Amino acid sequence: QKEVEQDPGPLSVPEGAIVSLNCTYSNSAFQYFMWYRQYSRKGPELLMYTYSSGNKEDGRFTAQVDKSSKYISLFIRDSQPSDSATYLCAMSHISGYSTLTFGKGTMLLVSP
């Protein structure tokens, strides 16, 4: 079992839809959770960063962490064509030198 699982998609939705992107993980040592957005031929850019279980909202984006289920989600409200990109979840350990472990990314396509 991979440490971080993420459905690669593509996920196609019409403009204005609510999008739900998800990752599951197996390592309970992961305590920090991030979502990155990557446009084609660009570097990943940080969207959301969470530490504790629960919800964190930033504009149209909401990140949700359920540590008991080892499940994290990113919700995008009122999706726009400009949201079309690959979304990568990433996570890191609480102690020691730690780097990010990424999911494989979900490609999102928002059609006008």
Partner 1 sequence: DTAVSQTPKYLVTQMGNDKSIKCEQNLGHDTMYWYKQDSKKFLKIMFSYNNKELIINETVPNRFSPKSPDKAHLNLHINSLELGDSAVYFCASSHAPEGPGTEAFFGQGTRLTVV
Joined together, the tokens standing for residue 65 give: 């962490």
Residue 100 makes contact with partner 1 by CB under 8 A: yes
**Which stretches of the chain are assigned E, i.e. beta strand?**
4-5, 11-14, 19-25, 30-38, 45-50, 54-58, 61-66, 71-76, 85-93, 101-102, 106-111
Residue 5 makes contact with partner 1 by CB under 8 A: no
Residue 61 makes contact with partner 1 by CB under 8 A: no
**Total interface residues for partner 1 by CB under 8 A:** 27
Judged by CB under 8 A, the residue of 15, 16, 45, 57 near partner 1 is 45
Three-class secondary structure of residue 81 per DSSP = helix
- The residue ranges that bind partner 1 (CB under 8 A) are 8, 32, 34, 36, 41-46, 49, 51, 86, 88, 92-102, 104-105
